[in-house]
Amino acid sequence: MTRETKRAPLVLSDAHRQVLADLSGSRTAPAREVERANVLLRYADGISISEIQRQVGVSRPTIYKCIDKALSAGIQVVLKDTFHSPKAPEILADAKAWVVNLACTKPKDHGLAAELWTLSALVRQVRTSAVATGFPRLAQVGKTTVWRILQEQNLKPHRVRYYLEKRDPEFDRKMREVLLVYQEVALYREGSAPHLETRPIYTVSVDEKPGVQAIGLTAPDLPPIPGKETSVARDYEYVRHGTLSILAALDLHTGEIIANVEPRHRSREFIDLLKRLDAHYPADAVIRVVLDNHSAHISKETMAYLATRPGRFEYIHTPKHGSWLNLVECAFSKMARTFLRHIRVTSKAELKERVLKGIAEFNEAPVPFRWKKFDLELV
C-alpha cells in the first residue's frame, strides 16, 4: 500500500477554498505560500501525489509535509511559517540588557555628533564596543537582531515624544485664581452674583499673537470653474512682506474684541492697548486683566504707566506654560480659522487693514467665550 492511499482526503470549506484559490494565483504573496496553496487545492480535488509533483514542481517530501500539516492543524498553519530557532540563542539576557541600555543613551554621550540613534548608528556602536564591554558575540551583530532586541522592550530611540514640564511652583494656585474669575464672570452674566463691590468691574482677557505673516502672491489666484475645477488654484510660489503682531483684549462679559495691530509687541505697544481699554470703559470702573507673565506686561515702562492710574487695572496672571487658561486664545483660534486662513496680501499695511476689518466683523455679532467646565475641588 502506497503512502498516498494512507492519507485521509482533505475537505475544504467554500471559504477555505476561496482563500487558497486567491493565493494560488497571487503575484505578490511569498512563493512558498503560493506553492502550498496549489498543493492543497490539487490534493483536495483528488489529484495524485505524482501528478501534484509534476504540476506544481516541488518534491514529494514537501508535498507530504504540507498535506500532513493541513490534515492535523488546518490550512492556516500550513500557509504561515512559525519562527523557530534551530539552536540555543547565543545572545544571552545580559547582552540584550547592555544593548537596551546603550539604546537608552544618546549618541553624543559616546562622542558622536548625532542627537538620536538611527538603527545603523546603534548597530555600529554595538559592534565597536561589544568586545571591550565583554560581549564578543555582538561584534558581528546584524540590524535585524538589534531591531528584535529593541522590539522586545518596545524601544524606538529614533523618535521624540514631547511633554511639558510644570515650571511654575504656584501653577495650581494661579489656575484656581483664574478659574474663580471666570466663574464670577459667568455668575454676573447670569445675574446671580452678589453685588458687594462699590465699583463696577470689567474683566478682559489679554494676550498677543505675534508673527502673523504678510504673504503675497506671485501670480493671481484662479477661481473655481463649475463642472471642471472644484477649488481655487494658487501658485506654489509666494512673497514674504514681513510679520505683524495682534495685541488683543477680549471682553469676557460681552465677547467684544479690542485689538491693535503693530509691527512689534513691546512695552510701548502693550501700554497703547491699556490706554485703549482705559478710554473704552467707564472712568469709575475697575478693569480686571487676565494675562500671562510676558516681559512687556510687567516691564518698568508698563509699571510706570499703571502707577499713573492707581486702582484702575487689576492683574490676574495665568501660570507659566498655562496659555490654554487664557480665553483670548479662543479668539485667536477663531481668527486663524476664519479671515487669517489662506490670507494673501500685497503689504503689511493691507494685512493690518484686513485684520482690523475681520475683528470689526466679529464685533458686529460678538459671542462671549465661556469656560464651560469648573473643577469644584479647585473653585
Percent of the chain with pLDDT over 70: 93
The neighbour count for residue 41, using CB atoms within 10 Å, is 20
What are the sequence ranges of the domains in the chain? 3-79, 93-152, 171-364
Q: Give the residue-averaged pLDDT of 218-244.
A: 92
pLDDT at 303: 96
pLDDT at 83: 63
CA distances from 342 to 33, 81, 127, 355, 366 (A): 52, 53, 51, 13, 23
Q: Is the pLDDT of residue 76 over 90?
A: no
Strand, helix or coil for residue 49: helix
Q: Which fold has domain 171-364?
A: Nucleotidyltransferase; domain 5 (3.30.420)
pLDDT at 1: 38
**CA–CA separation, 62 vs 111, rounded Å?**
53
Amino acid residing at 265 = H
pLDDT at 376: 44
pLDDT at 195: 57
Q: Give the residue-averaged pLDDT of 88-112.
A: 91
Please provide residue 117's backbone torsions phi and psi, each rounded to the nearest 5 degrees.
-80, 140
- Each residue's pLDDT tens digit, 298-355: 999 999 999 999 999 999 999 988 888 899 999 999 999 999 999 999 999 999 999 9
Confidence of residue 374 (pLDDT cuts 50, 70, 90): low
- Each residue's pLDDT tens digit, 171-181: 888 888 898 88
pLDDT at 379: 42
- Per residue in 304-333, is it b (16+ CB within 10 Å) or e — as a string? ebbeeeeebbeebbbbeebeebbbbbbbbe
3-state secondary structure 306-337: HHCCCCCEEEEECCCCCHHHCCHHHHHHHHHH
pLDDT at 192: 62
pLDDT at 371: 80
**CA–CA separation, 61 vs 280, rounded Å?**
93
Confidence of residue 89 (pLDDT cuts 50, 70, 90): low
DSSP 236-260: S-EEEEEEEEEEEEEETTT--EEEE
